[in-house]
Every structure is written in C-alpha cells, then in structure tokens.
A and B are shown apart, each in its own frame.
Chain A
Amino acid sequence: DQQVKQNSPSLSVQEGRISILNCDYTNSMFDYFLWYKKYPAEGPTFLISISSIKDKNEDGRFTVFLNKSAKHLSLHIVPSQPGDSAVYFCAAIEGTYKYIFGTGTRLKVLA
C-alpha cells in the first residue's frame, strides 16, 4: 500500500506561471518530507525539505507547504522555467533514514 501518493502523473504549465505539485501521505508518524527532481538518465537531485514543526519552507523559486491535518504537502515553483521540466518526487522519512517515495509527477514547462 502506497504511504506516499502523487496522484497527478503529469502536469503542463506555461513558462512564467506557477507550478503546483501535490503529495499526500497516510502515515501520521512521518515528520520530515523532501522533494527531489529527476532528469532522464540522472539520479534524483535534492530540491527542498520541510519538518513537520513547520508549515512552510521557501528556497528561491521553490516553496513547500505542509498541511499536517490533511496529510498533504505541495511544492510551488514560481516562476516556472523550461529548465524545471523534470520528474518531481515527494518523499517522507520513516524513522531516521528510510525514504518512502511517491510515484512522481512529470512537469513540463512550456516556453
């Protein structure tokens, strides 16, 4: 059973607009979450993370929001750029080191 779910397999956004990628989780014990970006033929690259004691974390164009009561997090990319086109994975940490990944959302930013 998937403990981390990304229900949108793909998303297309115009360059300059906001991209919103969503992630839901089922395990209320998860207390740390991360987003990774993956280009073809490369490994996942760390993007941004958030602890459950926060509801928002921002790094440049990337902001992650966490809604613990809804067990939902989202990644906002503003403004979106063509170079952001990639597969984005949401992950939760189980215990202190085991990452549980979602299935990914393929983002395409249209020029």
Chain B
Amino acid sequence: DTGVSQDPRHKITKRGQNVTFRCDPISEHNRLYWYRQTLGQGPEFLTYFQNEAQLEKSRLLSDRFSAERPKGSFSTLEIQRTEQGDSAMYLCASSSLAGAAETQYFGPGTRLLVL
C-alpha cells in the first residue's frame, strides 16, 4: 500500500491558463474527496466521489472547476481559466465505505500558484 499520491506536487501557471491535477487513491478505497487549503485555513471540502459517481459538489467549486473519476480509480481536478484566487493547496483523500464514519487518508497535495 503506497498511500494516496498526487501529481504534480507543485504547479505554477499564468492567469487564464488551464491546469489539471491527478490523484491516485489507496487501491481498495472506493470513496475519493478533493479539498482546498489556503494559507491559515484548514482544508475545505470541494467534492466527493463514490466509485465513479460524483455525489456532492461544494458551492466553492465554481463552473471553472471540474472533477472526474472515470473508472472509479484515479481522479482528476481541472481548473479552467485560472485566477489568482485559485492559488492554494489542493488535497485529495480517500477512504473505504465501512460503517457510518471512516477515516480519510490524505495525499501530499498539489500546491498551485497562479501568477
């Protein structure tokens, strides 16, 4: 078990460009989450997948953001027409469906800087 991995770890882009991040969850986990963390704040929930189905999207996820998990394994988060306010750490987490509450395991995050 190699844990949750994310790629890239760092991304610098110019305003207006599109970026895509990848998350590979722990292999047997069927739940996958994306969070965003800005300086001085805790992680904020963005979206949740159970297998390939996207079951919830936060209002933080504007129309410029789209997330997919096409085969119920890895997931991608795309930001179109990036803005400076998108600069943040994007965290992915996964868990397995086991009871009413389960522990989410986080990846190392992708740090995005929009110039």
Pair A103/B42 contact, Cβ less than 8 Å: yes
From B40, B103, B108, contact of A43 by CB (8 A): B108
By DSSP majority rule, is chain A's interface helix, strand, loop, or mixed?
Answer: strand
Q: Flag the segment in A45-53, A64-72, A75-83 that touches B.
A: A45-53
Contact A97 B41 (CB under 8 A): no
- Fill in one digit per residue for A94-106: 1 if any B CB lies within 8 Å of its CB, else 0: 0011111111100
Determine if A44 and B106 form an interchain contact, defined as CB atoms under 8 angstroms apart.
yes
Residue A25 is within 8 A (CB to CB) of chain B in the complex: no
Q: Are A51 and B101 in contact (CB under 8 A)?
A: yes
The interface bits of chain B over 34-52 (1 if a CB of A lies within 8 angstroms of the residue's CB, else 0) are 0100001111110010000
Interface residues on A, range: 20 to 34
A34 x B31 contact (CB < 8 A): no
Closest residue on chain A to residue B108 by CB atoms: A43
Interface residues in chain B, defined as those with a beta carbon under 8 Å from any beta carbon in chain A: 4, 6, 31, 33, 35, 40-45, 48, 56, 91, 93, 95, 100-109
